[in-house]
Each structure stands twice: as structure tokens, then as C-alpha cells.
């Protein structure tokens, strides 16, 4: 596609990562996800010549639209949201394989039209009947679409399903959806997407731990005092009241993104980097999580406050929200992994809306030196060693160590050894959806959640929410622009610890 000079090693890597011929069918092609994430990701893959030579995109949604109108709308999306500069030659080649089919999800006539378009694309583009179905649709439409796809599945070619979160509402609904999928598709054909797993820094956690001989020997209860994982957002619910009122923070972020970060942080070394080996180890962590008691879980809901100097409304004042809503917008918990590596080592996790800033971090705090011979020389600023992984923004990591201050005396303070992706590799990081969509086309499920992972995550969430039903919360209990309710601080203060603020 794009003409660039390549060295042989890079060219070989690109060929190995190029998927076979296929059609990507996007259900919900009129939605925000398609415009902001999927189409810009596909353009970036085309820009780097990572898409198949025989490739097509078929958009499907309820709205009526011609092929040309769909292409123009997607072109606008690429120009607005893609991380790469817009090149007309790259776009023309990508757009040549784009079609659109209006589809009511419960309408057989629409299914007939989509089937007809797909057969035409196979003939025109040589895609061999291979299909990747992307479900960018409300959860209520997923079950129906799975049945429709299974009914019309053809003998030639393969089929893969990429299913966006939320995957179910609780353990029972997730199991029902998994059972439905198993009736018609093999687990290897299903890709439950969690875009956090596509982030470079999350993947780098695996490289950090298992490609370096210095970290793994100390990655355990003997050397680590505790772990803190923060997923903070400064935004509110962004007009998603209908979804958020039903889901809340624990289903929106805690059940998927946050528990996946816990699993990657705490997992044992896999025997290799194949999909099953990596996911087997993550499942072991999720199964080992001790269900936290009521005193180990905090929930909150934001009231009025200030974000970056601008006053913002309380959650109950957002459009579409019940004025007496008891939906949580903040969750903090103290978790324990009941195995030999992590026994009695707390993992403190928190996530929330309308917090002071947007950040996702994993902080590994090591135990203090057992007998520092120069304690009197250490200033008050000397803190324990901490390995801080910045997942977003400003991707990278920082290691806090004690160092002598230059001078004639012995004065010690904390300094930081920093690694930032942007300054080290001098190239833009790929968006998570680029990696994940490409992996699904190739058939690599390493960075996708397996059915048993999903069910273990929901089992923990169900246990927490069951306890919540026994009492009514006093909401709102934290102001927008703060780090959550005071009880979240107490969660750590009881153990003689405190949340990191930077």
C-alpha cells in the first residue's frame, strides 16, 4: 500500500503478521466506536501494509446509507481520528474494498441483503469466504446476531467473532452467552475484546517480568510490600446514562479492565507465549482471588465539583440519571491472591469517574531495606523502592531508588530512573485496536479473554454486588475532582499505608 523502504528483517516480520484474505463485517458501523477507533485502526494497518492484499470491509447498521456515503463518512473519521497522516493513495486502496448493508438485526430480509453483499465481495476481492464479524452493538443484539451468523454460515472459509464488552451483565448471563456461542462456534473462533490488553504498556508488563532476570526473583511476597492499581478518569459518563445506570463502575471497568491488570501483574510465568499458556496463568490468578469482605470494598458516587478549574455537575444531575440513583461511579478494594507467591500481600485497586486526572498506573512497592545503616542520613523524602508502570497516558515506567545527594556529607533521597516509550523508540505507539483487530484476523487470541476468564471475573463481581444489596449507600460521597470518598483512604490507612498521589 504505502511505499516505504524496509529492511529485510522488518519486511519479514510484516509478512508473518499479515493475515490471510478476509472480510471484516462491522455490526454497528454507524456508531461512535467504528468512527473513533475501528476505522482509524484499519487505516493505520493499511498505512503500514499489514492488511491482507485481498481484504474488504462491510459495514452493517440500521441506518440507510449507500456504499459511497459510507466511504465518505469513514474517510472523515480517518481524517479526524487516525494517528497517521492522511494519504489519498492509502485511502483509495482501502476504500475500494468497502461496502455497506442496511440491517435490522432481527430482520431476515436484511440478513439476505448482507449475505448477498458478502458473496459479491468474495467474488470481487477474492476473500475466499473468510469472515471476521465485529460486534460493535448493544449487548441486547449480540445473541440474535450470533444465531443469525450460525444459521447462514457457509462451508468454505472460516469465521471469527470479535465481541466488545460488556460480555454479559453478571455470571448467569455471561454463562448463557458462552453456552450459546459454544453451540455454534469453537472457542478458538471467539475473541472477547478488552482494549486494555492491546496497550503497549500492558503487554510490556509481560516483557518486563519474563524477559529480565532481575525482576522475577523479587516479584513475590518476600520482597513486595503491596501493589496499587489505579484506573482514573476525569470525565463523567459522557451521555451514556442508559448504559451506566445499569452497569455502574464495577461492571464498566472493574470487572474487565481492572481485573485483567490484576491478573497480568500477579500471574505465574507461562511455559511459552501461546494464547492458551498465557490465559491459563491468568485464570489461575482469577480463581485464586479471595472474595473481599464488606470492609475491604468501598463504593462511591461523585457530587458537584471542579475538574481543571471548571465546575461539573453531580452524577445525579447528569442527563438521564435518576435523581436518587444509587449507581456507583467509584470502586476501591483490597484484594488477596491466595497462592504461595502472593499470600498475605495486598493488591489495592481503585477506579472511578470524575477523579482529578486521567491515568492508569500499576505501582509495585517493595519492602524497605531490613537494616539501613544510614537511616539518620536519609531525608524525609526517602521513600520505599517503587516500580511504577504508566499504562496511560505518557506510557512508560519509573523505578524509585535511594541515592546519595552530591556533597561532603551522607544525605540520601529518592530519585527516579525513567523509561518513556516516546523518547526511547521515537515513534508513535500503535492504538490498542490496531493490535487487537490484526491479531483477530490472524487468529492469535493471546490478548483476548477466554470464556473461563470472563466467568471468574463475573463470579467475583457478583459476590461483591450481593453484599451491596444489604445496605443503602450514602451518595454522593465524594466531590468531582477529588480522589474518591474518604473511606477509600481509610482502606489503606488501616494498614498503615496510603494511596500514591503522583
Catalytic residues, which ones? 257
Q: What is the DSSP string of 393-459?
A: SS-EEEEEEEEEPSSSS--EEEEEEEEEHHHHH-SPPPPHHHHHHHHHHHT--TTSB-HHHHHHHHH
The 3-state DSSP class for residue 5 equals: coil
Strand partners, 417: 399
> Would you say 55 and 22 are in contact if contact means Cβ atoms under 8 Å apart?
yes
> Would you say 460 and 347 are in contact if contact means Cβ atoms under 8 Å apart?
no
Written in H, E and C, the secondary structure of 280-296 is HHHHHHHHHEECCCHHH
Neighbours of 408 (CB within 10 A): 5
Joined together, the cell numbers standing for residue 247 give 452497569
CA angle (222, 225, 230) in 5-degree steps: 135
> Would you say 456 and 178 are in contact if contact means Cβ atoms under 8 Å apart?
no
Q: To 10 degrees, what angle do helices 451-468 and 171-184 make?
A: 160
Strands 131-135 and 310-312: unpaired
Quick one: 304 exposed, middle or buried, by C-beta within 10 A (0-12, 13-18, 19+)? Answer: middle
Instruction: Indicate the helix (H) or strand (E) that contains 175.
Output: helix 171-184
Amino acid at each position: 500500500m504505502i511505499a516505504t523502504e524496509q529492511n529485510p528483517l522488518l519486511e519479514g516480520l510484516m509478512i508473518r503478521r499479515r493475515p490471510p484474505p478476509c472480510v471484516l463485517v462491522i455490526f454497528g458501523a454507524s456508531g461512535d466506536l467504528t468512527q473513533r477507533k475501528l476505522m482509524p485502526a484499519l487505516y493505520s494497518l493499511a498505512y503500514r501494509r499489514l492488511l491482507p492484499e485481498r481484504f474488504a470491509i462491510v459495514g452493517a447498521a440500521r441506518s440507510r446509507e449507500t456504499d459511497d456515503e459510507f466511504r465518505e463518512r469513514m474517510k472523515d473519521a480517518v481524517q479526524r481520528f487516525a494517528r497517521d497522516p492522511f494519504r489519498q493513495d492509502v485511502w483509495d486502496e482501502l476504500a475500494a474494498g468497502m461496502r455497506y448493508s442496511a440491517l435490522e438485526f432481527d430482520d431476515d430480509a436484511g440478513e439476505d441483503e448482507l449475505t448477498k453483499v458478502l458473496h459479491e465481495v468474495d467474488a470481487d476481492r477474492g476473500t475466499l469466504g473468510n469472515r471476521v464479524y465485529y460486534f460493535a452493538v448493544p449487548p441486547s443484539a449480540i445473541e440474535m446476531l450470533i444465531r443469525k451468523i450460525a444459521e447462514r454460515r457457509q462451508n468454505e472459509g472460516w469465521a471469527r467473532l470479535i465481541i466488545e464488552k460488556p460480555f454479559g451483565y453478571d455470571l448467569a448471563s455471561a454463562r448463557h452467552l458462552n453456552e450459546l456461542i459454544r453451540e455454534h462456534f469453537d472457542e478458538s473462533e471467539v475473541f472477547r475484546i478488552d482494549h486494555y490488553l492491546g496497550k503497549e504498556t500492558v503487554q510490556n508488563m509481560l516483557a518486563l517480568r519474563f524477559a529480565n532476570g532481575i525482576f522475577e526473583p523479587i516479584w513475590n511476597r518476600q520482597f513486595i510490600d503491596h501493589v496499587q492499581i489505579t484506573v482514573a478518569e476525569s470525565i463523567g459518563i459522557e451521555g451514556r446514562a442508559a448504559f451506566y445506570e445499569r452497569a455502574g463502575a464495577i461492571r464498566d471497568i472493574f470487572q474487565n479492565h481492572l481485573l485483567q491488570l490484576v491478573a497480568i501483574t500477579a500471574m505465574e510465568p507461562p511455559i511459552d507465549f501461546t494464547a492458551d499458556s498465557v490465559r491459563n496463568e491468568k485464570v489461575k490468578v482469577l480463581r485464586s482471588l479471595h472474595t473481599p469482605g464488606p470492609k475491604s470494598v468501598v463504593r462511591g458516587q461523585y457530587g458537584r465539583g471542579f475538574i481543571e478549574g471548571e465546575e461539573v455537575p453531580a452524577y445525579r444531575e447528569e442527563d438521564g440519571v435518576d435523581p436518587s440513583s444509587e449507581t456507583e461511579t467509584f470502586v476501591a478494594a483490597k484484594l488477596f491472591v491466595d497462592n504461595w507467591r502472593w499470600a498475605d500481600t495486598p493488591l489495592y485497586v481503585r477506579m472511578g469517574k470524575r477523579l482529578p486526572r486521567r491515568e492508569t498506573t500499576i505501582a509495585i512497592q517493595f519492602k524497605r531495606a531490613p537494616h539501613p545503616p544510614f537511616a539518620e542520613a536519609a531525608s524525609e523524602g526517602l521513600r520505599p523502592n517503587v516500580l511504577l508502570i504508566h499504562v496511560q497516558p505518557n506510557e512508560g515506567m519509573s523505578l524509585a531508588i535511594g541515592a546519595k545527594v552530591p556533597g561532603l556529607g551522607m544525605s540520601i533521597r529518592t530519585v527516579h530512573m525513567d523509561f518513556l516509550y516516546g523518547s526511547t523508540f521515537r515513534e508513535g505507539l500503535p492504538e490498542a485496536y490496531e493490535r487487537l483487530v490484526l491479531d483477530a484476523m490472524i487468529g492469535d487470541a493471546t490478548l483476548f479473554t477466554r470464556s473461563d476468564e470472563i466467568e471468574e471475573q463475573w463470579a467475583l463481581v457478583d459476590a461483591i454486588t450481593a453484599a451491596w444489596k444489604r445496605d443503602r449507600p450514602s451518595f454522593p460521597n465524594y466531590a468531582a475532582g477529588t480522589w474518591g470518598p474518604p473511606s477509600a483512604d481509610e482502606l489503606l490507612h488501616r494498614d498503615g499505608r496510603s494511596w500514591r498521589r503522583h
